[in-house]
Amino acid sequence: MNSYLALGIAIVGEVIATTALKSSDSFTRLVPSIITVIGYGVALYFLTVTMETIPTGVAYAIWSGLGIVLITVASYFVHGQKIDLMGMVGMALIVAGVAVLNLLSKSAGH
């Protein structure tokens, strides 16, 4: 399996799980709780697949950086979380950092 596809699946799994985690009300609601557990299981499994070929630091930086941005966007739509200008600037800096690490850094294994 392509490592970046596995990483994409890991990120999507984490975003779904974290979004459902808020909806689980501290694991008192069954369906969101089940989605949370399955989502994190999928995320961690595919993160391990990713780390077979992508260095750990790079994989984790991409996973966590893009996860932060996507969870914030999902929270905006699902939970009505507000995103202000400085929040958007911060997320843009995270995406820029992930892009620099992945595209320009020698530690990305290119």
Could you report the per-residue pLDDT of 12-30, keeping only the tens digit for each?
999 999 999 999 999 999 9
Given 3-state DSSP classes, what are the helix, strand and coil percentages for the chain, each rounded to the nearest 5?
A: 80, 0, 20
Q: For residues 58 and 36, what is the distance between their CA atoms, to the nearest angstrom?
A: 25
> CB neighbours of 99 closer than 8 A, spacing ≥ 6?
none
Dig out the tokens for 14 from the structure: 């984490």
Q: Would you kindly state where each structural domain of the chain is located, as residue ranges?
A: 3-108
- Residue showing tokens 């950092």: 97
- Residue showing tokens 């690490």: 101
Distances 87 to 3, 8, 101, 106 between C-alpha atoms, Å: 30, 23, 21, 29
Percent of the chain with pLDDT over 90: 69
Q: What pLDDT score does 104 carry? A: 78
Dig out the tokens for 9 from the structure: 């699946």
pTM (two decimals): 0.84
